[in-house]
Amino acid sequence: MFFNSLLTNFAALEVGQHLYWQIGNIRLHGQVFLTSWILLGALLVFISLGTKKMENDPKGLQNLLEFLWDYIRDLARTQIGEKVYRDWMPFIGTLFLFVFVSNWGGALIPWRLIKLPSGELGAPTADINTTIALALLVSLSYFYAGLSNKGWRYFEYYVHPTPIMLPFKILEDFTKPLSLSFRLFGNILADELVVGVLVFLVPLILPIPVMFLGLFTSAIQALIFATLAAYYIGEAVEEHH
Amino acid sequence: MLAFNFFGATEGGLFDINATLPLMAIQVVALTYILNSLFFKPVGNVVEKREKFVSNNIIEAKNKLSEVKKLEADLLTQLQSARTEAQRIVSEAESESDKLYKEALELANNEANASKEKARLEIESQTSAARDQLSKQADDLSELIVNRLILEK
């Protein structure tokens, strides 16, 4: 009896249900866009507030934004290299900020209090579409970075130490976006599920350490995603001798 | 009833991939451009301007420091030469005064010797004169005594 009610209540977590938006022939996951617009809107407001009055002696919000900028620059510079990191810093930074804001927004804001007709609001990165979109963008950018920096010599990378590497390197082009998207998706979804289940089972105190762990995982996943994206781009533009 | 049955779901499910994917990609690309113009460019300009300012100041300070060190060394050599010059002057003056002292001493010695000699000569002459007079008086007296003795007889 108890187990049965547990299962029904598990269903209340509404895993894999979506708020569908139908525009013409295409169908969208509305809850993903709703949360992403709210979070990105907050991010943009935060950033425009911080950059409104830039001074040489940074104060308050500008300090934080400069720290963030410096952090992203260091990340891009160490992974991509001194020569082209400037071109890719906005992209890497956007990935980092988008993933970070999505993860933390999903974990910190009590979205479940807002009732939707179907599905529920949560981290945009807990939807496979978002993570695949990000991963494919990373794939496109490292191809573009390699081709625009080295021309056709980019393909030397595939046979770099020896031609034996060719099949593995081709395989890598598929595993890179796959691992990027599924790592992020899996971590964030798992965190949401664990917290959801724990809140349902023991609504007091016990979920708090797991929530903190979730925040930690969220931040780490953002860092991992941005670092790997930068590393792939750096690998593509690296000169072999 | 059980929502974990997500594989094979015709509608919904965790792996339901649809137009959300390309739209999200477009949204992220747009976000990249927006963040570039709102965040990365302006903050980068400010930070890099400051970094340039700081590094310029450091270079300037280093130049000034080396200049100061050069001036310090210059002053040190000047001080050294002034010191040796002063020493030379002092030792010169010392030897000069020494010479003068010796000269004066010699002069005074000579003078004293001369006057001593003169006095000695004078004493000698006076002594001899007195002795002559005395012996003459003795002669006179002896003659007088002799004469008296002779007369009385």
Taking 60 as the threshold, does the pLDDT of residue A215 lie above it? Answer: yes
Q: What pLDDT is recorded for position A122?
A: 87
Contact call for A56 and B25, based on CB within 8 A: no
Local confidence band at A234 (pLDDT 50, 70, 90 cut-offs):
very high
Q: Which residues 41-70 of B have a C-beta within 8 angstroms of A?
A: 42-44, 46-47, 49-50, 53
Closest-CA distance of chain B to residue A165, Å: 31
CA dist A144 and A123 (Å) reads: 29
Q: What is the pLDDT of residues B106-151, one digit of tens each?
A: 999 999 999 999 999 999 999 999 999 999 999 999 999 999 888 8
* Neighbouring C-beta atoms of residue A130, cutoff 10 Å: 30
With contact defined as beta carbons under 8 Å apart, do A51 and B35 qualify? Answer: no
Chain B CB contacts of A7 below 8 Å: 1-2
B149 touches chain A (CB under 8 A): no
Local confidence band at A204 (pLDDT 50, 70, 90 cut-offs):
confident
- CA angle A19–A23–A26, rounded 5-degree value: 85
B30 touches chain A (CB under 8 A): no
With contact defined as beta carbons under 8 Å apart, do B39 and A66 qualify? Answer: no
Local confidence band at A212 (pLDDT 50, 70, 90 cut-offs):
very high
CA dist A136 and A201 (Å) reads: 38
In chain B, the N- to C-terminal Cα span, in Å, equals: 201
Sequence-separated (6 or more) residues with CB below 8 Å from residue B44: A69, A73, A89
Taking 60 as the threshold, does the pLDDT of residue A121 lie above it? Answer: yes
Sequence-separated (6 or more) residues with CB below 8 Å from residue A18: A29, A30, A31, A32, A118, A119, B12, B16
User: How many contacts does A have with B, using Cβ atoms within 8 A?
Assistant: 134
Chain B CB contacts of A55 below 8 Å: 46
Taking 60 as the threshold, does the pLDDT of residue A189 lie above it? Answer: yes
Q: What is the mean pLDDT of chain B?
A: 90
B14 touches chain A (CB under 8 A): yes
Q: Is A83 helix (H, G, I), strand (E, B) or coil?
A: coil
Q: Which residue of B has its CA nearest to A12?
A: B3
Q: What pLDDT is recorded for position A12?
A: 56
* Neighbouring C-beta atoms of residue A193, cutoff 10 Å: 15
Domain ranges across chain A: 2-237
The mean pLDDT of B22-46, rounded to a whole number, is 94
Contact call for B24 and A36, based on CB within 8 A: yes
Chain A CB contacts of B1 below 8 Å: 7-8, 11
Q: What pLDDT is recorded for position A11?
A: 45
CA dist A189 and A186 (Å) reads: 5
Taking 70 as the threshold, does the pLDDT of residue A10 lie above it? Answer: no
